[in-house]
Structure 1
């Protein structure tokens, strides 16, 4: 990238200057950039590199290492175009050290083939991986060299940016370079007051941006590659601060609304507790106390209750619902699937109808006159607790007086759906209290940052009598031995889950599908009643099979991960998870939670294909070592990062440009302290920090 000195600060335009000031940005280029959310100079300053490529040196082919990016200079010695499965171009190159490397292209033009004449010199960059004939690089970047060409090597790392559709990386780098030449002086660019970051040993924002976009020759390459360079940490700090401030502003905006205080004597709560066949755990009592305190206030509760499968979140939600019903108000409980919603319905009707509380059911399969009747009961207040799926959010559903909205597995709902349910109770400036529940324990660092707009409670204690599930990992070649164990368990009257990761045969994945496994187990286990459930079945078929399994009419249930959140079958004491190496820790833990719900010793078998990756091996080992969902969640964050764990968040943010919640967790206490200080002392600066990093990204207050 060409280096130019920055323009005179007095002439430097502000960050919100349109990109039309840059050379080469006409209407067509501006439209491509705008489609990627890049409309101003500041947008380009904050379009940060994903990674770096080190083209400062050449590596001999014989010194290349598997998985380590490198740059080589070599001559073409052979070219082969293949058509076995799809068009493939293979170019063999050799350098002066007599090492041979294959360059492989799956997407290529005829002009490229002509470029690679035998004897042609080229310089290429990429990541070598083992191939059929030794190391190969798939789709390297390359430059054709003339007979006497000897271009200089780079003197710094080359940034690799998030792509802009329809624009090549060289063009994007050139435009970002122009934008960087227009960076204003530090005092203009810096938003945080002088001295507020003293003691953190971090550079100024201007210095950090220049270092990250244009690493100097003496930069710590290892730190940049790891994301731990002080310049990267300075940007991560401000980005985390903006994210946290955005959530805190949403919380403040929501709490400016009124909510009906639910502070009755608790007559229905006492009656419910008296008739339950079990006593609450200490954790359940503590969390209900926190909810009760929230509901007594005239501002809306926004609380997340997290806890492992079987920890008793539903009964805590039922107690909260009784505080609303006692005040003559209504409660809505939404679950993401009919299976889970119907389980809630069964539990709530069993607990609440003996108390004279009417529990209504509203899901997609409730149609015709039955639906009209339920809608009428919801509208006139006769239905005091309404359980359902996404159907609850539809425009036709009008509540008489909704005071509490409960959402289970809230990350499975879209932002607009959760807002739609909240708005069902909005009257004037009054909104219902909100209680969201998840059986996926949230790592502490995620809770501190991604849920800053929520109060978080944890039910971190299982009911007495629940025995920890014993977990073993088995190679798939021990399958016959496992099937014998299943036959024995079924003869002893126990029930078994067998979970597959695919429904039907797939040529690209070495995973056994549910349909084939179902047919195979039927043949291998005569006398064992085998059922099958997967996501492509009709909802009524899935439900009928699950109900039959719960009733003991099916001994062995072959299922896909559709049963990750499903019905409670205390008699099921053995679970087999096939191709367990393909699943993440959170999903494995959720599936394992389907067993161990009775008093019998339960086991989970993780059946895997040999040649495990290092990450898969670590996941299986973690599952063997612990049943603690919170420990597993922390490990999952460490292995996978936050992106896959969160799902859609209410801010509408697609993700972080620089920050990484696992890597930068140590910055969060400082972020929280800065946020509180800004909101208290300099709220206008807080707004500018949010606008800089989040800009016009859609923000859903209080979702």
Structure 2
């Protein structure tokens, strides 16, 4: 499709309205590939920023090449031939007259390429320098021949863009060049008032975008790669402002919705406290008081409850549920897996049945007549507390009067699922109160940035009497010793986890590793009952294995990180985590928390592969020395940044495109002030600003 000449005569009023199909060489296939990355308009292209840059501004003599670094070189072909071995390759020797030369190696090539590399041909190449058998080499460098070589080198850094299958970097650069052409004639609107930008000495939006796509000669690679350059900070600031505007608007809209006032007489709660075989900790009491006060309001509670593994969040949730029940309303607790929801139901039933409170469990496995009876009990209000999985979202599930929704491990649910449960309750068109729980510690500074629309409660101490988990790092050269340790533990009637971690971001490879590990352990440990769970098992099959392990039918559970949340087996006292160097601190802490839930001393063995990087050594040292999930989260945040701590693969969690709430902490307070200013004085900028940065993601917080 031909390019419409940029300019207002094209009929478009803004870049966000120009589809990418109006660019040259963008047909349906390329448009589909761009859409995979969320790029549908010219403005989307401009905000698709380079992930790194290459310095092609200087030709380097071949004799000065350094192994491991990228370089731009030029020389003449002295020899080229096809080598046949384990793998066919095209080998080209390039020399510049001042050195022994360098080998160019290609494993994928065409007859035309072979013909082009004739002796005497002058070639300019860019690629990573590697140490070969007899000389330095470049594997699949980018090459230009004499008739393609410009007389001058590049005058600016070369951007490298995040990509998807079927889009080469040359294609990206061509598309961005066209988008920059539009930028000159139809610049995107500035939604940030000058009074918010001037104190920070940040450039305008057009200047920042142009700079980041075309960094001029002399740009500090360190500043731009670490995203400390003012051009990056300009975009990060705008994204943080958009986020804060969205959260403030969301909070304001919640204040206009009615919720039932849950003013119970306290009788059920008092009887539960008297029946408990333990006393609540000071932290539990503080959080329970905060929640109880919220439930007395006529506006929906929106509270995030954080508590480390084993901190006692469930009993606090039970007290909140009883306050709703005392007031004549129902309560619902939703968990991400059948196993976790069943565990919650088991605990709550043990506490509530003696009080005369009927609870039921609803999951996907319930069918036919049994399901119909459960649905009738919920609709009639006879079931005062309903515990379930995503089955609670389904349209056929109706509540008589839902006053409180408790969501456990909220980041495991998608936005629309949480919204659907919210729509099921409340009197006279109102909404139920919501208590959102997580065992994933989020540093307070980060939580106040990301969840500013929620009130925050933290259970920051563990109940007394918890046996500490002994954590030890062991090299995988001692694998035989570790397997013997497993044999002894199982022989003594204790249960064990063996966790296989993610390999190269591939779930398929991770599952294969778990299957192979289970097979090998089965051969080495005859008589030990072994179960296997991973992400590619059907949920019903996975839950069946987990239930078998929880019920003592299995001695050893080989698993991927799917067991990070949801398994509570008091008899499990040994945890093996393979390749812990691949995981962040918070995830290691979550996995470790699967043991140490009984009275017996528990152990976690970190089976690492040497040699470890400096960061990996520091990470394993921290997990060995630290038991507090919140301290670990703070350290993890400093080491890896917000996106990794929260888990970018988790659904429903906000993901920043440019900003990093840790790296850009100095911008958070100015962003909050700017958001207040825009909402008060520039209301017309609110919708387009949020749409530019968040699109349909704004609803993520509307749980």
- Fold-level match, TM-score > 0.5? yes
Q: Distance in 1 between matches of 2:656 and 2:161?
A: 14
Q: Show the counterpart of 1:172.
A: 175
Tell me, yes or no, if the aligned pair for 1:19 and 1:30 is still in contact at 8 Å. Answer: no
Tell me by how many angstroms 1:381 deviates.
Answer: 0.7
Q: Distance in 1 between matches of 2:197 and 2:507?
A: 55
Tell me, yes or no, if the aligned pair for 1:77 and 1:118 is still in contact at 8 Å. Answer: yes
Tell me by how many angstroms 1:374 deviates.
Answer: 0.3
Tell me by how many angstroms 1:296 deviates.
Answer: 1.4
Counterparts of 1:217-616 in structure 2, within 5 Å, are 217-425=217-425, 429-490=429-490, 492-501=492-501, 513-522=513-522, 524-525=524-525, 529-535=528-534, 545-547=545-547, 549-550=549-550, 552=552, 554-616=554-616
Q: Show the counterpart of 2:619.
A: 619
Q: Show the counterpart of 2:57.
A: 56
Tell me by how many angstroms 1:592 deviates.
Answer: 0.4
Q: 1:515 to 1:680 in 2, by over 3 A?
A: same
Q: Distance in 2 between matches of 1:513 and 1:34?
A: 33
Once the two structures are superposed, residues 592-642 of structure 1 have per-residue CA deviations (whole angstroms, 9 ceiling, x without a partner) of: 001122333322100122233454434323322322222332343444444
Tell me, yes or no, if the aligned pair for 1:409 and 1:438 is still in contact at 8 Å. Answer: yes
Deviates more, 1:263-272 or 1:363-372: 263-272
Q: Distance in 2 between matches of 1:456 and 1:130?
A: 54
Once the two structures are superposed, residues 414-466 of structure 1 have per-residue CA deviations (whole angstroms, 9 ceiling, x without a partner) of: 22211121112256541111222111112345423332332222222111111
Tell me, yes or no, if the aligned pair for 1:502 and 1:512 is still in contact at 8 Å. Answer: no
Q: Distance in 2 between matches of 1:626 and 1:492?
A: 28
Once the two structures are superposed, residues 112-149 of structure 1 have per-residue CA deviations (whole angstroms, 9 ceiling, x without a partner) of: 344333443222223335556665544433322249x5
Tell me, yes or no, if the aligned pair for 1:412 and 1:647 is still in contact at 8 Å. Answer: no
Tell me by how many angstroms 1:302 deviates.
Answer: 1.6
Deviates more, 1:348-357 or 1:108-117: 108-117
Q: Show the counterpart of 1:74.
A: 75
Tell me by how many angstroms 1:38 deviates.
Answer: 5.1
Q: Distance in 1 between matches of 2:462 and 2:421?
A: 30
Tell me by how many angstroms 1:70 deviates.
Answer: 2.4
Q: Distance in 1 between matches of 2:29 and 2:512?
A: 48
Tell me by how many angstroms 1:358 deviates.
Answer: 0.9
Tell me, yes or no, if the aligned pair for 2:20 and 2:42 is still in contact at 8 Å. Answer: no
Q: Distance in 2 between matches of 1:207 and 1:537?
A: 50
Tell me by how many angstroms 1:380 deviates.
Answer: 0.7
Q: 1:327 to 1:179 in 2, by over 3 A?
A: same
Tell me, yes or no, if the aligned pair for 2:575 and 2:592 is still in contact at 8 Å. Answer: yes
The secondary structure found in structure 1 opposite 2:270 is helix
Deviates more, 1:580-589 or 1:590-599: 580-589
Q: Show the counterpart of 1:694.
A: 694
Tell me by how many angstroms 1:289 deviates.
Answer: 1.9
Q: Distance in 2 between matches of 1:577 and 1:564?
A: 11
Q: Distance in 2 between matches of 1:680 and 1:539?
A: 48
Tell me, yes or no, if the aligned pair for 1:496 and 1:556 is still in contact at 8 Å. Answer: yes
Q: Show the counterpart of 1:116.
A: 117
1:684 paired to 2:687:
no
Residues paired across the two proteins, number: 688
Q: Which runs of 5+ in 2 are unaligned?
A: 1-5
Q: Distance in 2 between matches of 1:496 and 1:695?
A: 45
Q: Distance in 2 between matches of 1:328 and 1:289?
A: 20
Tell me, yes or no, if the aligned pair for 1:378 and 1:399 is still in contact at 8 Å. Answer: yes
Q: 1:158 to 1:339 in 2, by over 3 A?
A: same
Tell me, yes or no, if the aligned pair for 2:192 and 2:238 is still in contact at 8 Å. Answer: no
Tell me by how many angstroms 1:352 deviates.
Answer: 0.9
Q: Show the counterpart of 1:156.
A: 156
Tell me by how many angstroms 1:264 deviates.
Answer: 2.0
Tell me by how many angstroms 1:246 deviates.
Answer: 1.7
Q: Which runs of 5+ in 1 are unaligned?
A: 1-5
Q: Distance in 2 between matches of 1:140 and 1:18?
A: 35
The secondary structure found in structure 1 opposite 2:185 is coil
Q: Show the counterpart of 1:3.
A: none
Tell me by how many angstroms 1:373 deviates.
Answer: 0.7
Q: Distance in 2 between matches of 1:648 and 1:510?
A: 15
Tell me, yes or no, if the aligned pair for 1:529 and 1:553 is still in contact at 8 Å. Answer: no
Tell me by how many angstroms 1:573 deviates.
Answer: 2.3
The secondary structure found in structure 1 opposite 2:669 is helix
Tell me, yes or no, if the aligned pair for 1:426 and 1:432 is still in contact at 8 Å. Answer: yes
Tell me by how many angstroms 1:233 deviates.
Answer: 0.8
The secondary structure found in structure 2 opposite 1:73 is strand
Deviates more, 1:370-379 or 1:62-71: 62-71
Q: Distance in 2 between matches of 1:372 and 1:143?
A: 70
Tell me, yes or no, if the aligned pair for 2:281 and 2:463 is still in contact at 8 Å. Answer: yes
Q: 1:91 to 1:534 in 2, by over 3 A?
A: farther
The secondary structure found in structure 2 opposite 1:236 is helix
Deviates more, 1:545-554 or 1:676-685: 545-554
Once the two structures are superposed, residues 659-678 of structure 1 have per-residue CA deviations (whole angstroms, 9 ceiling, x without a partner) of: 22332222212222222333
Q: What RMSD, in angstroms, separates the aligned Cα atoms of the two structures?
A: 3.7
Q: 1:345 to 1:218 in 2, by over 3 A?
A: same
Q: Distance in 2 between matches of 1:70 and 1:243?
A: 40
Q: Distance in 1 between matches of 2:86 and 2:403?
A: 60
Tell me, yes or no, if the aligned pair for 2:498 and 2:559 is still in contact at 8 Å. Answer: yes
Q: 1:53 to 1:520 in 2, by over 3 A?
A: closer
The secondary structure found in structure 1 opposite 2:195 is coil
Tell me by how many angstroms 1:345 deviates.
Answer: 1.1
Tell me by how many angstroms 1:110 deviates.
Answer: 4.3
The secondary structure found in structure 2 opposite 1:154 is coil
Tell me by how many angstroms 1:496 deviates.
Answer: 2.8
Q: 1:696 to 1:275 in 2, by over 3 A?
A: closer
Tell me by how many angstroms 1:238 deviates.
Answer: 0.9
Q: Distance in 1 between matches of 2:524 and 2:617?
A: 30
Tell me, yes or no, if the aligned pair for 1:512 and 1:578 is still in contact at 8 Å. Answer: no
